[in-house]
C-alpha cells in the first residue's frame, strides 16, 4: 500500500518560502536564463554567422551540435565527482567556465575558433544545469519543488520572449557576436551574486561513502530506482525534441504563416509560458506531481494530434493551438522534474542529475536526427510526414506516463519505508 502525495505530511499551504529560499530561486532562475539563452541564441544567428565567417550550412550545423555533444559528454564524465564537493563551489567553477566559453564565442573571428568556443561552453554548461537542480533538491522539500521547478523552467520561455529578440536586435545593430558579450556580462553579475550570497551546500558530504569516482558512477547507473528515472527522462526528451527542429518550417510552409509574423507567434506563446509555468508548478505541489503530469500528457496528445494536422488557419487559431500545446509540454516538464528529483539519495544527487542531464542532451540529438530521417521537404517547401512525428511523440508520451506511474509509486512509498526502518 502506498501513500498518495496528497496525504504526505507538511502540505504545500503550510510551507512558505523564506527570504533566503526566494533568493536561491531567483538567482538560479537567472542562471538558467543565461544557460538557455546561450544555447538557443546560436540557431537564429545562423543567417548572420554563416556569411560573416564564410562557412557552409554543414559547418554551421556542426557548430550547433558541438555544444550539445560536449555538454552530454561532460555531464557523464563528471558524474562520479559531482557529489564530492560543496555544490556552491562546484557551481561557481563550472559557471565561470561557461562564461569564459561564452566570452570566447563573442571573440571568435573564424570557424575553427567559434567551433572550439562552443565546445568549451558546452563542456561547462552541461554540468551547471545539473548542479543547479541538485541544489534545488537539497534545499527544498518535495512539497515545494513543483513551485521551484515551475519558476526555473520558465527560463526557456523567457529566453524566447526577452532574450532572443533582444539578441537579434543587438546583432543587427552591431554584429553577430554582440549577444554573447551581453550574456557574459549578465552572467558575471549572476556569478558574483552567487559567490557573495549563496551559502555553502555541503550537507551531502557528511553522508558520502568512501568510494572512488568510478565506483560512485557505477553505483548510480546500476541503481534500479535511478534507472527508472533515467528511462523516463530519456523517453520524455526523445519525444519532446521530435517536433522542435521543424516547428517553424511547418508553420511557415504548411500552415502559411508569413515569416515576418513568426517572431510574434513565438513571443506570444513564450509570454503565456512565463505566466503558466509558475502556475503549473504551484498546481503540481497542491494536487500532486503525477496528477499534473497525467494532465499534461492528455493535453499534449490531443494538441499534438491537432497541431501536426493543421492546414491553412488564421493567426488566432494557430496561437491558441500552440499555447495549449505549450501548456501540455510544460505540465509534463515541470511535474516530472519535481517528481524524479525525489528518487536519488542526498549523497547521489549530483551524480544522478549529471547523468540525467547527459541523457537529455543525447536524447535530444537522437530525436533531431530521427525527425530529419522521417520528414521530407518538397520543392515548394511543404513538409511531408510531419504527422508521423506527432504519432511518435504521442507514443512516447504514453510510455512516459507508464514510467512516471511507477516512479510515483516508488516515491510515495519511500516515507512509509523510512518510518518502518526507524521503528524497527
pLDDT confidence of residue 312: 82
Residue 66 belongs to domain with CATH number: 1.20.1250.20
What would the grid cell of residue 302 be? 490531443
Convert the pLDDT of each residue in 79-97 to its tens digit: 666 667 778 888 888 899 9
> Is residue 29 one of the residues assigned to a domain?
yes
> Is residue 122 one of the residues assigned to a domain?
yes
Answer for the pair 186, 174: CB distance below 8 angstroms, yes or no. Answer: no
> Is residue 55 one of the residues assigned to a domain?
yes
Looking at every residue in the chain, the average pLDDT score rounds to: 77
Convert the pLDDT of each residue in 154-190 to its tens digit: 776 676 666 666 666 666 677 777 788 888 888 898 8
CA angle centred on 32, ends 362 and 342, rounded to 5°: 70
pLDDT confidence of residue 212: 62
Name the more confident of 358 and 313. 313
Convert the pLDDT of each residue in 48-75 to its tens digit: 676 777 776 567 667 767 777 787 777 7
Q: Any idea which of 4-8, 38-42, 249-253 has the lowest mean pLDDT?
A: 4-8
> Is residue 318 one of the residues assigned to a domain?
yes
What's the CA gap between 139 and 148, in Å, rounded? 11
pLDDT confidence of residue 254: 82
Average pLDDT on 226-244 reads 81
> Is residue 334 one of the residues assigned to a domain?
yes
Name the more confident of 340 and 261. 340
Convert the pLDDT of each residue in 298-357 to its tens digit: 999 999 999 888 888 888 888 899 889 888 888 888 888 888 877 877 777 767 777 777
CA distances from residue 225 to 134, 334, 344, 410 in whole angstroms, order as listed = 17, 20, 8, 8
> Is residue 156 one of the residues assigned to a domain?
yes
Q: Any idea which of 121-135, 148-162, 373-387 has the lowest mean pLDDT?
A: 148-162
> Is residue 418 one of the residues assigned to a domain?
no
pLDDT confidence of residue 401: 92
Convert the pLDDT of each residue in 282-302 to its tens digit: 888 788 888 999 999 999 999
Convert the pLDDT of each residue in 268-282 to its tens digit: 887 787 788 888 888
pLDDT for residue 195 is more than 80: yes
User: Confidence class of residue 12 from pLDDT cuts 50, 70 and 90?
Assistant: very low
pLDDT confidence of residue 233: 84
Q: Which segments of 86-177 does DSSP mark as H helices, in order?
A: 87-107, 111-139, 142-158, 164-173
pLDDT confidence of residue 419: 45
Name the more confident of 205 and 24. 24
Answer for the pair 361, 126: CB distance below 8 angstroms, yes or no. Answer: yes
What would the grid cell of residue 285 be? 505541489
What's the CA gap between 191 and 189, in Å, rounded? 5
What would the grid cell of residue 269 be? 506563446
DSSP structure class, residue 376: E
pLDDT confidence of residue 11: 44
Answer for the pair 130, 247: CB distance below 8 angstroms, yes or no. Answer: no
pLDDT confidence of residue 424: 45
Name the more confident of 104 and 359. 104
What's the gap between Cα 70 and its chain centre?
16
Number of domains forming the structure of the chain: 1
Range of the domain at 31: 19-198+212-412
**Cβ neighbours of residue 365 under 8 Å, at least 6 residues apart?**
65, 68, 69, 72
pLDDT for residue 415 is more than 70: no
Answer for the pair 368, 142: CB distance below 8 angstroms, yes or no. Answer: no
> Is residue 330 one of the residues assigned to a domain?
yes
Amino acid at each position: 500500500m502506498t501513500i498518495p502525495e496528497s496525504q504526505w505530511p507538511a502540505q504545500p499551504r503550510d510551507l512558505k518560502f523564506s527570504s533566503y529560499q526566494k533568493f536561491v530561486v531567483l538567482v538560479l532562475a537567472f542562471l538558467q536564463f543565461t544557460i538557455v539563452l546561450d544555447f538557443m541564441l546560436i540557431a537564429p544567428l545562423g543567417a548572420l554567422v554563416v556569411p560573416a565567417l564564410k562557412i557552409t550550412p554543414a559547418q554551421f550545423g556542426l557548430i550547433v551540435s558541438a555544444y550539445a555533444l560536449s555538454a552530454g559528454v561532460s555531464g557523464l564524465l563528471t558524474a562520479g565527482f559531482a557529489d564530492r564537493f560543496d555544490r556552491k563551489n562546484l557551481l561557481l567553477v563550472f559557471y565561470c567556465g561557461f562564461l569564459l566559453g561564452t566570452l570566447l564565442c563573442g571573440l571568435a573571428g573564424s570557424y575553427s575558433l567559434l567551433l572550439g568556443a562552443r565546445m568549451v561552453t558546452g563542456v561547462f554548461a552541461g554540468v551547471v544545469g545539473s548542479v543547479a537542480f541538485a541544489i534545488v533538491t537539497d534545499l527544498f522539500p518535495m512539497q515545494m519543488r513543483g513551485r521551484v521547478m515551475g519558476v526555473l523552467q520558465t527560463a526557456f520561455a523567457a529566453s524566447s520572449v526577452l532574450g532572443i529578440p533582444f539578441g537579434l536586435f543587438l546583432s543587427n545593430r552591431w554584429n553577430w557576436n554582440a549577444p554573447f558579450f551581453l550574456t557574459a556580462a549578465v552572467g558575471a553579475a549572476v556569478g558574483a551574486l552567487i559567490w557573495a550570497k549563496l551559502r555553502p551546500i555541503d550537507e551531502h558530504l557528511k553522508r558520502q561513502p568512501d568510494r572512488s569516482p568510478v565506483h560512485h558512477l557505477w553505483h548510480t547507473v546500476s541503481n534500479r530506482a535511478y534507472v527508472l528515472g533515467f528511462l523516463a527522462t530519456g523517453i520524455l526528451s526523445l519525444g519532446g525534441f521530435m517536433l522542435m527542429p521543424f516547428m517553424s518550417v511547418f508553420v511557415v510552409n504548411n500552415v502559411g504563416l508569413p515569416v515576418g509574423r513568426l517572431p510574434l507567434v513565438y513571443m506570444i506563446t513564450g509570454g503565456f509560458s512565463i505566466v503558466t509555468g509558475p502556475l503549473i508548478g504551484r498546481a503540481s505541489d497542491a494536487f500532486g506531481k503525477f496528477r499534473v503530469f497525467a494532465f499534461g500528457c492528455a493535453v499534449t496528445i490531443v494538441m499534438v494530434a491537432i497541431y501536426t494536422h493543421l492546414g491553412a488557419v488564421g493567426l488566432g487559431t494557430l496561437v491558441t493551438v500552440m499555447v495549449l500545446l505549450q501548456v501540455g509540454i510544460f505540465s509534463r516538464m515541470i511535474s516530472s522534474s519535481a517528481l524524479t528529483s525525489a528518487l536519488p539519495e542526498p549523497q547521489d544527487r549530483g551524480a544522478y542529475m549529471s547523468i540525467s542531464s547527459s541523457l537529455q542532451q543525447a536524447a535530444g540529438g537522437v530525436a533531431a536526427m530521427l525527425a530529419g530521417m522521417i520528414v521530407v521537404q518538397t520543392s515548394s517547401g511543404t513538409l511531408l510526414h510531419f504527422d508521423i512525428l506527432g504519432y511518435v511523440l504521442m507514443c512516447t508520451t504514453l510510455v512516459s506516463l507508464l514510467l512516471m506511474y511507477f516512479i510515483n509509486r516508488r516515491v510515495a512509498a519511500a516515507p512509509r519505508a523510512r518510518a518502518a526502518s526507524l521503528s524497527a
